[in-house]
Amino acid sequence: MAPRALASTATVAGVPVDTRHWIGAERVASPATFTDRSPIDGTALASLARGGAEEAKAAVAAARAAFPGWAATPPAERARLLHAVADGVEARTEELARVETADNGALLRAHRRGVMPRAAHNLRFFADWLLRLGHDDFTTRGHTNHVSWDPSGPALLITPWNAPLMLATWKIGPALAAGCTVVLKPAEWAPLTASLFADIAHGAGLPPGVLNVVQGYGAEAGAALVSDPGVRRISFTGSVPTARHIAAGAAERLVPVSFELGGKSPLLVFADADLDLAVDLAVEQYDNAGQVCLAATRLLVEERIADAFLERFLDRAGALRQGDPREADTDVGPSIHPRHLERVDGFVRRALASGARVALGGGPHTELNDATGGTYYRPTLLTEVAQHSEIVQEEVFGPVLTLQTFRTEDEAVTLANGTRFGLAATLATGDPARADRVSARLTAGTVWVNCFYVRDLAAPFGGSRESGIGREGGAWSFDFYCDVKNTVTAPKGWQQHG
Ligand code: NAD
């Protein structure tokens, strides 16, 4: 995957990727650049334009200039264009998958089969929803109330590196469908598919300025975009500390935000559960090397089945193959960046120092890293962890799970709810009444019963507590990107003071 750096193009996994911003349907360079490396082997993939205040200003200006035209474009035409962009994503699935895997190290087969088709679906779904968006008129003492969804203006979309194009399209779809124009700021550790997406959208006929992409660091490009007075909505997926910065910036101008943040989600396994299913659900949490916001990283297992659970878990998780994410038989790929690997390992070292025990893994995959130059962390399970310890309370965002036991349903719920997060919760039980009781008591944006990661775009998605602000999905997305308006019309002949 050796990069061939040209002035404005890098060839990544055999695919030419423009390294410049995309502003008002033009490629724009910056005086400064930043280097994007592959976590697979540490090679430099591309040197990209590094945006700052100037590029942010230009991109928001382009989005503002395009807004009146896009907002006035009939819904059917907006929907048609979104489907055309989705066609473009589908036509380039293989290239997008290869570039994304090179860039963020997630499994190539997952990108091919699941992620890229989902990215196209994100666009199609909201295009279709737009066409049935509405609310029945209703009357108040003969007056008609008519509800409409007016696009609010340029939307700033800030995304993380763990699922770059999937998360970008999950925001771009509803924002564009709603009639907003967009400035996308992709993560600096995996920015490449955003650039390819700009080409695809342009090729599909999206008018100039409707979609803009500004690359660069969060503290530079991101912060400059957040403070731009032309931005009318900010949708952000990322970490809690970054969300605090963005919220502070947005507060200056009271710009509405939608935040999808971190998690420390539990998997509750009751003794009445199908044990094989529960173990499968637990092992699944190593997907994407644990870099999944929704991951149920806290395994909470009823005490009387804990030994049996652990034995089967170690059998299965111990057999996971870690290695190059482009290989068909790899189960767990690399962590995104050397700095991230160090951070993950720091959590584990401190946990061990405070009494935790390693049941599986427990450190970087040193031989693999030495052999490849990549950043691989072994799938890890820690036991004997205290509820108030850092490893149980803080999001690691790596392949690190903890195991705790409980005796009663009450205790299970208390442990499950006992962090400052509330993104998701998964429970394994064979008793439907227990499933109802427990799920009603869990603090979480999504609860999965005997399943994991089943996500319908029509469903509300978001986090409770510090896991987020607001919900997106279906009509919730349109509520966020629009100024919802009620128009009240008097009946004919009505006299206000008659
Ligand atoms: P991050 O917060 O470090 O960065 C996310 C984005 O914010 C990047 O594009 C970054 O450049 C930008 N950014 C950073 N500082 C900024 C600033 N001051 N102003 C504006 N933008 C700024 O997060 P990350 O490390 O890229 O992603 C991992 C985090 O994302 C984890 O906490 C994970 O749980 C979360 N996440 C949440 C969801 C969800 O749906 N809830 C999904 C995926 C990831």
Per-position pLDDT tens, the chain of length 498 = 444 444 699 999 999 999 999 999 999 999 999 999 999 999 999 999 999 999 999 999 999 999 999 999 999 999 999 999 999 999 999 999 999 999 999 999 999 999 999 999 999 999 999 999 999 999 999 999 999 999 999 999 999 999 999 999 999 999 999 999 999 999 999 999 999 999 999 999 999 999 999 999 999 999 999 999 999 999 999 999 999 999 999 999 999 999 999 999 999 999 999 999 999 999 999 999 999 999 999 999 999 999 999 999 999 999 999 999 999 999 999 999 999 999 999 999 999 999 999 999 999 999 999 999 999 999 999 999 999 999 999 999 999 999 999 999 999 999 999 999 999 999 999 999 999 999 999 999 999 999 999 999 999 999 999 999 999 999 999 999 999 999 999 999 888 765
Residues 323 and 377: their CA atoms lie apart, in Å, by 10
Q: Where does residue 493 rank: exposed (0-12), middle (13-18), buried (19+ CB within 10 A)?
A: exposed
Q: What's the token pair of residue 387?
A: 């509820």
Measured from the Cα of 249, ligand 1's closest atom is 19
Nearest to 55 by CA among 186, 213, 250, 171: 213
Q: How many residues does the chain have?
A: 498
Nearest to 290 by CA among 348, 214, 356, 227: 348
Measured from the Cα of 242, ligand 1's closest atom is 2
Measured from the Cα of 188, ligand 1's closest atom is 11
Choose which residue among 184, 237, 394, 395 to substitute to test ligand 1 binding: the one with the highest number of ligand atoms within 8 A of its C-beta: 237
Instruction: Enumerate the β-bridge partners of residue 488.
Output: 145
Per-residue DSSP letter, 9:
E
Per 3-state DSSP, what percentage of the chain is helix, strand, and coil (rounded to 5)?
40, 20, 35
3-state secondary structure of 57: helix
Q: What are the residue boundaries of the structural domains of the chain, listed by start?
A: 9-261+463-486, 266-449
Nearest to 213 by CA among 236, 230, 191: 191
Contact (CB, 8 A) for 95 and 184: no
Residues 423 and 266: their CA atoms lie apart, in Å, by 10
Strands 9-12, 4-5: pairing kind? antiparallel
Q: Where does residue 488 rank: exposed (0-12), middle (13-18), buried (19+ CB within 10 A)?
A: exposed
Q: What residue owns the CA closest to ligand 1's atom 23?
A: 238
Choose which residue among 157, 158, 213 to substitute to test ligand 1 binding: the one with the highest number of ligand atoms within 8 A of its C-beta: 158
Residue 243 C-alpha to ligand 1 middle, in angstroms?
A: 8
Q: What's the token pair of residue 335?
A: 């962590």
DSSP per-residue letters across 457-484: TTS-B--SGGGEES-BSHHHHHHHHEEE
Q: What residue owns the CA closest to ligand 1's atom 10?
A: 218
Residue 293 C-alpha to ligand 1 middle, in angstroms?
A: 10
Residues 4 and 16: their CA atoms lie apart, in Å, by 9
Measured from the Cα of 238, ligand 1's closest atom is 30
Nearest to 307 by CA among 283, 280, 279: 279
Just list the catalytic residues. Answer: 260, 293
Residue 196 C-alpha to ligand 1 middle, in angstroms?
A: 21
Choose which residue among 104, 157, 162 to substitute to test ligand 1 binding: the one with the highest number of ligand atoms within 8 A of its C-beta: 162
Spell out which residues line ligand 1, taking CB within 6 angstroms.
158-162, 167, 185, 187-188, 217-219, 222-223, 226, 237-239, 242, 245-246, 260-263, 293, 395, 397, 423, 463, 468
Measured from the Cα of 161, ligand 1's closest atom is 26
> How much is the pLDDT for 2?
41
> How much is the pLDDT for 3?
42
Sheet holding 4-5, edge to edge: 4-5, 9-12, 15-18
Sheet holding 211-213, edge to edge: 26-28, 21-23, 211-213, 182-185, 155-158, 233-237, 257-260, 468-469
H/E element, 120: helix 116-131
| CATH code of domain 9-261+463-486 | 3.40.605.10
Q: What residue owns the CA closest to ligand 1's atom 8?
A: 187
Q: What residue owns the CA closest to ligand 1's atom 28?
A: 238
Instruction: Say which residue the tokens 């912060």 belong to.
Output: 223
Contact (CB, 8 A) for 434 and 272: yes
Residues 104 and 41: their CA atoms lie apart, in Å, by 11
Choose which residue among 55, 239, 344 to substitute to test ligand 1 binding: the one with the highest number of ligand atoms within 8 A of its C-beta: 239
Contact (CB, 8 A) for 36 and 191: yes
Residue 239 C-alpha to ligand 1 middle, in angstroms?
A: 4
Measured from the Cα of 240, ligand 1's closest atom is 32
Matching fold, domains 9-261+463-486 and 266-449? no
Residue 409 C-alpha to ligand 1 middle, in angstroms?
A: 34
Residues 422 and 204: their CA atoms lie apart, in Å, by 39
Q: What residue owns the CA closest to ligand 1's atom 18?
A: 219
Give the chain's radius of gyration (CA, Å). 24
Output the CA–CA distances (angstroms, integers) from residue 219 to 164, 188, 195, 245, 437, in the order listed.
Answer: 19, 11, 20, 9, 44
Residues 474 and 326: their CA atoms lie apart, in Å, by 34
Measured from the Cα of 160, ligand 1's closest atom is 26
Instruction: Enumerate the β-bridge partners of residue 12.
Output: 15
Output the CA–CA distances (angstroms, integers) from residue 82 to 77, 126, 300, 477, in the order listed.
Answer: 9, 9, 43, 16
Choose which residue among 242, 255, 265 to substitute to test ligand 1 binding: the one with the highest number of ligand atoms within 8 A of its C-beta: 242
Residue 410 C-alpha to ligand 1 middle, in angstroms?
A: 34
Residue 236 C-alpha to ligand 1 middle, in angstroms?
A: 7
Residues 334 and 190: their CA atoms lie apart, in Å, by 13
CATH 3.40.50.20 fits 266-449, yes or no: no
Q: What residue owns the CA closest to ligand 1's atom 26?
A: 160
Nearest to 165 by CA among 130, 199, 204: 199
Residues 189 and 281: their CA atoms lie apart, in Å, by 29
Residue 290 C-alpha to ligand 1 middle, in angstroms?
A: 15
Residue 109 C-alpha to ligand 1 middle, in angstroms?
A: 25
Q: What residue owns the CA closest to ligand 1's atom 32?
A: 239
Q: What residue owns the CA closest to ligand 1's atom 15?
A: 218
Residue 186 C-alpha to ligand 1 middle, in angstroms?
A: 9
